[in-house]
Structure 1
Amino acid sequence: MKIKKLFLLTALAFSLVSCSDLFEPAQENNRGLDEIYNEPTYAQGLLGYGYAMLPYNTKSVTDIATDDAVSNDLSNGYLKMATGAWAANNDPMSQWTNRRACIQYLNIFLEQADKVNWAKDEKARKMYCDSRKGEAYALRALNMYFLLMNHGGWDADGKLLGVPNLTASEKPSDDFNKARNTFQECLNQIYNDLEEAGKLLPLDYNDLTNDADVPAKYKAIGVQTAGEYNRVFGAIMRGRISGRIAEAICSQASLLAASPAFAAGTTVNYAKAADDAAKVLDRIGGVSGISPTGNKWFAQTSEIDNLGSGAVPQEILWRGSRTNGDEDWNLGLNQEADNFPPSLYGKGRINPTQNLVDAFPTVTGYPIADSRGGYDAGKPYENRDPRLDMYVIHDGSKYKGKEIKTDITTTGNDDGLNKVSNSTRTGYYMKKLLREDCDPNPNSKNAKYHYPVYIRYTELFLNYAEAANEAWGPKGSGSHGYSAYDVIKAIRDRAGITDVAYLNECAADKGKMRELIRNERRLELCFENKRFADLRRWKAPIDVAAGGVQIKKDGGTTTYKAFKVEDRNYKEYMYYGPIPQTEIQKWTNLRQNKGWELNNK
């Protein structure tokens, strides 16, 4: 959380500096709300809280609570959660406090924004007010989405509930003992907020070069030049939430609501979820807009190093600020220091499982369990989906100029299975998200630019594929020019799987296509904190034990033996996260999700 706050507050500070004609520093911290009206900086601080507390993890953390990874840090809270310690009073996934605090600040901001003297010029004042209110509506929707994802659930009476839906700020004299609104009511609030945001925000923050392109509604109040418009809505504001980002959040919320875990309690179906994803994707030409390097965006080092302020590459819809420091909290070297193998001065924290490795098909596109794919159990890493080598370090991988050995027989090899506390517990190390040109050696640290990704286009393509398959079948496209089949073919082509025999087989069966789409999502989004939420919204098994491989080498013979590394101890009711136990104990009108009420008596 510390790194997230620093990055986002820094980004916000830059955006304020860029509008220095509007903002002056506050004289002291003890302020009355009435002072907000003549001090835009003060008002901006309320909105800034929403950015400083964005709900995204800045690095990979939650996959170790799933069947995709384990951690060699045995004190890790997600590890403990996965192995039986998840409770309503011990919830590493909780978003309750931070999201509700954000909504409170955003509600205060929205109540006051129209009264703030954003600029001396009335035209600029109106544009700034529109822009900032649009951001606040979109941020409020984003916070509600994360609340529903982590705390929405069915109560003991069979009602699908969300959270208390607050659209006005809470005052000290208010009654805080509020019941949860239904999931659908909270979902409606998301849609309403995003609709309001869409009316006020530009699709993107780009500089106009032609005065004629100034939107009509601003021409009507006297904005005549592109320069006047760019002052508020131009490229200088990149990085803030935009109309395009708001549309992407709508796609995420609709897919959640249409998924098996929630569909029975909402009015959202897969057709709407597909249409909402397509609204974003149609703007980039559908499948023709898929980035050819989108599956390895983290390894595009030249692209990352040369990104302009607020600019995004083709794959990225929304990102955080770049950073390249070598402090232990800084994203510039933090992930490499945490996850490189010990021989490369890393702690080897996140270990991909054999489960995940087995999910990568052969290069022909067939699952490894299908004899038609040509998988060789004696040479398990050959002729595989190229993404395996792109995302996972396995025995024999070449990395940073050396061969990584994870077997148990090579002597003097700390990279081997369970050799030291920083060694892999599964036989694998995470490679995805890391830059090979970084060096965490304390005697020669070399940090490089990284940025946290909030929303990728690949996620939205997978949203569409999942929803379109359920709504219209593998090759149906609704009112759009592309199908689930088209999306998955493009994603696999990009990965280097050009044989379509297995894909064509799946295209004849919605169920088989569903499993293929889910597997592609697993591979494309691995280590990006998506897996745990996906498993739960699908109501797919979440108690699958995490496996590894024990490799022995004897002369020229190598043997591979799969073994269980760690159980996953989840109960059926844990498809839905809990309301914090402290909140249940404080407020009698707040109902717990079914199952969790027995968890902490």
Structure 2
Amino acid sequence: MKLKNICLGIVCVAALSACADKMDYHEYTTYDKEYVFSDFGRTAGFVNNIYSYLDADLPGLTSLASACDEAEMALTYSSVLDYTNGNWSALNPKSQWGYYTAIREINYFLKEGTGLDFYDLRFQIDYQSQMNRYNRYPYEVRLLRAYYYFLLVRAYGDVPFTTEVLTEAEANSITRTPASEIFDFIVKECDLVAVKLPVKYSGLDNDAAGGADNPETGRVTRGVALALKARTLLYRASKLFNESEDKTLWKEAATATKAVIDYCNENEISLGAYTALWGTDNYKAAEVIFARRLGDMNSPEWYNFPIGMENANSGNCPTQTLVDAYEMQDGSTPDPSNPYEGRDPRMGMTIAVNGDKWPDANPYPLEIYYGGRNGLPVSYATPTGYYLKKYLDSSIDISDSDGTGGKRHSWITFRLGEFYLNYAEAVFKYLGSADATSGEFDMSAREAVNKIRKRTGVNMPEFPSGMSNADFWTRYKKERMVELAFEGHRFWDIRRWKEGGITSISRMGITLNANQTLTYTKTTKPLVWEDKMYFYPIPDSEIRKNGNLTQNAGW
């Protein structure tokens, strides 16, 4: 198991993009703790390495969007297909166990790297500003540890838990702690560290992380603590972890989520343009609470630009299932001969359809119909009838001759839009209807959803008052699928709701007729689903090392 004692030789190898946040990265190969923790720069490098384990799911070869019903992976050799073709197993576990490496480093830092005074450096001109940053490190890493435990519980349910530095023997004998206890720990940690973290790093007084010209904006903030607490409580209240559907858990989730919304309102974090959520400056979008900077790259474009373009590989192709979630702006039924006209504007921002001129370097409108330049039977052409736009940079040229190279990409971990939806869900589940309010919750679930639907550039008709509970819940799930498409939520939402897994996806076949009209034919592809897939399997290799570990049911 990876919960081993950290040796005195520590290797920090994963780079954390500096971008504009100055979180400089250092490599250590043979240095012991006295060396690492005797210098501000080396200590910062150790802490920054802990950030490097943060998750991100930009569209790529293993994006979880293609492990559910958001997308279908066109590249048939991708291992992401194992999630839905029956090849997922404890021997092929899609392991999330690597977060224990980060937890191990955090436990080590909290044991060996805190409470220092760097006495030998006291005459440095920036000594106090460096100390101010250093004294905040314990709260930063504790919040990161809470987040990593959230990711593990989300995937596995009950998991091994420790806040100590374990010997190898201890690590290989540890048992699983109930998920409810780990949720309690996460919530408590968020409450304790929130008040110790700044709202933002710009403007901090005499602080090495708060330079006026270039603050370290990649660090966790008070808002991150509030957001993690709220998301954790939402998951805890959901059926996967709340079989009895205890409404008090939904109340706790609603309260914590309202606190996030209030925090955003108080700190000028607001809904902006939907398309601001991707592109080189998406981490600056008005509603972002936290984003992980990933640096300059073009791999999302290389994997996902339409086949038929030089070096493009189709990648994660949005499904007809997702397209069907986009409502018509006027509430009508789509025209079968022109099925995209009049749809929710977010569809055109997220999905490329036949006839679109996209991306910029493509000299032709997309020909996704059978026999077209970008359609079947070309090898690896989209199997669904669509290509992806969201989180891709249309200005990037991936051709060998005119390529622009990579541009900055960032993964948004927490944003305000998610929490309006989370609030709607929690309040609906607690109060029992879409229109209900109370003294504590003066915004109804319906009103919260409408905040999203009326955001800049979307302006969809509001959910009406008087909706039945069944109608609201159905439309809420579609709204969530649309708003959060390709942002790493759908795969997990399906599981936490525990309403039945994904057994099929819909595709769109397009035929070019002799008279140049198009015929659209919807088809269905079955997927493998078993209820054991609500949780990941514990990797067989970990079970073999630790006889006290038990496997999740069914695996």
- Scaled to the shorter chain, the TM-score interval is 0.7 to 0.9
CA offsets per residue over residues 274-299 of structure 1, 9 Å max, x none? Answer: 11112111123299964230x21245
1:474, distance to aligned residue in structure 2 (A) = 1.5
| Counterpart code for 2:306 | P
Residue 134 of structure 1 aligns to a residue in which SS? Answer: helix
| Counterpart code for 1:86 | W
CA distance, structure 2, for counterparts of residue 240 and residue 260 of structure 1 = 32
Q: Which residue matches 2:9?
A: none
1:269, distance to aligned residue in structure 2 (A) = 1.0
Residue 577 of structure 1 aligns to a residue in which SS? Answer: coil
CA offsets per residue over residues 140-196 of structure 1, 9 Å max, x none? Answer: 0010000001111xxxxxxxxx21210111134636301111111111111222223
Give the direction of change, closer, same or farther, for the CA distance of 1:125–1:408 in structure 2 (3 Å limit): closer
| Counterpart code for 2:390 | K
1:12, distance to aligned residue in structure 2 (A) = 10
Residue 317 of structure 1 aligns to a residue in which SS? Answer: strand
Q: 1:73 aligns with which of 59, 72, 75?
A: 75
Q: Which residue matches 1:558?
A: 518
CA offsets per residue over residues 400-459 of structure 1, 9 Å max, x none? Answer: 3632121115xxx3302x222231111111111122222111110024433222222211
TM-score (norm 1): 0.81
Q: Mean alpha-carbon deviation: is it higher for 254-263 or for 507-516? A: 507-516
CA offsets per residue over residues 474-505 of structure 1, 9 Å max, x none? Answer: 133442442221221121122534433xx215
8 Å CA contact 2:295–2:408 kept in 1: the answer is yes
Residue 141 of structure 2 aligns to a residue in which SS? Answer: helix
Q: Which residue matches 1:197?
A: 193
Residue 82 of structure 1 aligns to a residue in which SS? Answer: helix
Residue 415 of structure 1 aligns to a residue in which SS? Answer: coil
Give the direction of change, closer, same or farther, for the CA distance of 1:385–1:200 in structure 2 (3 Å limit): same
Q: Which residue matches 2:319?
A: 353
Q: 2:84 aligns with which of 57, 82, 85?
A: 82
Q: Which residue matches 1:214?
A: none
CA distance, structure 2, for counterparts of residue 52 and residue 449 of structure 1 = 16
Give the direction of change, closer, same or farther, for the CA distance of 1:86–1:513 in structure 2 (3 Å limit): same
CA distance, structure 1, for counterparts of residue 489 and residue 520 of structure 2 = 29
| Counterpart code for 2:236 | A
Q: 2:23 aligns with which of 15, 18, 26?
A: 15
Q: Which residue matches 1:264?
A: 243
8 Å CA contact 1:43–1:116 kept in 2: the answer is no
Q: Which residue matches 1:440?
A: 398
Q: 1:315 aligns with which of 281, 287, 296?
A: 287
Residues 288-299 of structure 1: matches in 2 within 5 Å? 290-293=270-273, 295-298=274-277
CA distance, structure 1, for counterparts of residue 266 and residue 468 of structure 2 = 23
1:53, distance to aligned residue in structure 2 (A) = 1.3
8 Å CA contact 1:63–1:69 kept in 2: the answer is yes
Tell me the matched-pair count. Answer: 525
CA distance, structure 2, for counterparts of residue 299 and residue 143 of structure 1 = 24
Residue 455 of structure 1 aligns to a residue in which SS? Answer: strand
8 Å CA contact 1:474–1:510 kept in 2: the answer is yes
1:300, distance to aligned residue in structure 2 (A) = 5.9
Q: Which residue matches 1:467?
A: 426
CA distance, structure 2, for counterparts of residue 53 and residue 449 of structure 1 = 19
Q: Which residue matches 2:8?
A: none
CA offsets per residue over residues 42-79 of structure 1, 9 Å max, x none? Answer: 43344233211112234451111112211111111111
| Counterpart code for 1:282 | D
Q: 1:240 aligns with which of 215, 219, 229?
A: 219
CA offsets per residue over residues 521-567 of structure 1, 9 Å max, x none? Answer: 10111122221111011113323312212212220442211122x42
Residue 559 of structure 1 aligns to a residue in which SS? Answer: strand
CA distance, structure 1, for counterparts of residue 507 and residue 551 of structure 2 = 37
Give the direction of change, closer, same or farther, for the CA distance of 1:433–1:37 in structure 2 (3 Å limit): closer
Q: Which residue matches 2:450?
A: 489
Give the direction of change, closer, same or farther, for the CA distance of 1:584–1:11 in structure 2 (3 Å limit): farther
Q: 2:542 aligns with which of 558, 573, 583?
A: 583
CA distance, structure 2, for counterparts of residue 552 and residue 173 of structure 1 = 63
8 Å CA contact 1:133–1:200 kept in 2: the answer is no
Residue 249 of structure 1 aligns to a residue in which SS? Answer: helix
Residue 87 of structure 1 aligns to a residue in which SS? Answer: coil
Give the direction of change, closer, same or farther, for the CA distance of 1:176–1:9 in structure 2 (3 Å limit): farther
8 Å CA contact 2:279–2:391 kept in 1: the answer is no
For the aligned residues, what is the CA RMSD? 2.8
CA distance, structure 2, for counterparts of residue 5 and residue 114 of structure 1 = 22
Q: 2:149 aligns with which of 136, 141, 144?
A: 144
8 Å CA contact 1:361–1:385 kept in 2: the answer is yes
| Counterpart code for 1:516 | R
Q: Which residue matches 2:301?
A: 336
The alignment status of 1:393 with 2:347, answered yes or no, reads no
CA distance, structure 1, for counterparts of residue 267 and residue 476 of structure 2 = 15
CA distance, structure 2, for counterparts of residue 257 and residue 77 of structure 1 = 30
8 Å CA contact 2:434–2:445 kept in 1: the answer is yes
CA distance, structure 1, for counterparts of residue 178 and residue 145 of structure 2 = 17
Q: Mean alpha-carbon deviation: is it higher for 244-253 or for 115-124? A: 115-124
CA distance, structure 2, for counterparts of residue 9 and residue 361 of structure 1 = 38
Q: Which residue matches 2:7?
A: none
Residues 414-425 of structure 1: matches in 2 within 5 Å? 414-416=373-375, 418-425=376-383
8 Å CA contact 2:73–2:316 kept in 1: the answer is yes
1:129, distance to aligned residue in structure 2 (A) = 4.0
8 Å CA contact 2:172–2:545 kept in 1: the answer is no
Residue 323 of structure 1 aligns to a residue in which SS? Answer: strand
CA distance, structure 2, for counterparts of residue 391 and residue 461 of structure 1 = 20
TM-score (norm 2): 0.87
Q: Mean alpha-carbon deviation: is it higher for 384-393 or for 137-146? A: 384-393
8 Å CA contact 2:16–2:23 kept in 1: the answer is no
- Aligned-residue identity in percent: 25
| Counterpart code for 1:482 | M
CA distance, structure 1, for counterparts of residue 368 and residue 267 of structure 2 = 39
Q: Which residue matches 1:278?
A: 258
- Structure 2: state its 5+ residue gaps: 1-11
Give the direction of change, closer, same or farther, for the CA distance of 1:441–1:37 in structure 2 (3 Å limit): closer
Give the direction of change, closer, same or farther, for the CA distance of 1:170–1:559 in structure 2 (3 Å limit): same
Q: Which residue matches 1:220?
A: none
The alignment status of 1:135 with 2:140, answered yes or no, reads yes
- Structure 1: state its 5+ residue gaps: 18-24, 153-161, 209-225, 305-310, 325-329, 367-372, 597-601
Q: 1:402 aligns with which of 353, 359, 364?
A: 364
Q: Which residue matches 2:500?
A: 541
CA distance, structure 1, for counterparts of residue 335 and residue 500 of structure 2 = 28
Give the direction of change, closer, same or farther, for the CA distance of 1:344–1:6 in structure 2 (3 Å limit): farther
Give the direction of change, closer, same or farther, for the CA distance of 1:265–1:171 in structure 2 (3 Å limit): farther
1:517, distance to aligned residue in structure 2 (A) = 1.7
Give the direction of change, closer, same or farther, for the CA distance of 1:8–1:58 in structure 2 (3 Å limit): farther
Give the direction of change, closer, same or farther, for the CA distance of 1:394–1:556 in structure 2 (3 Å limit): same
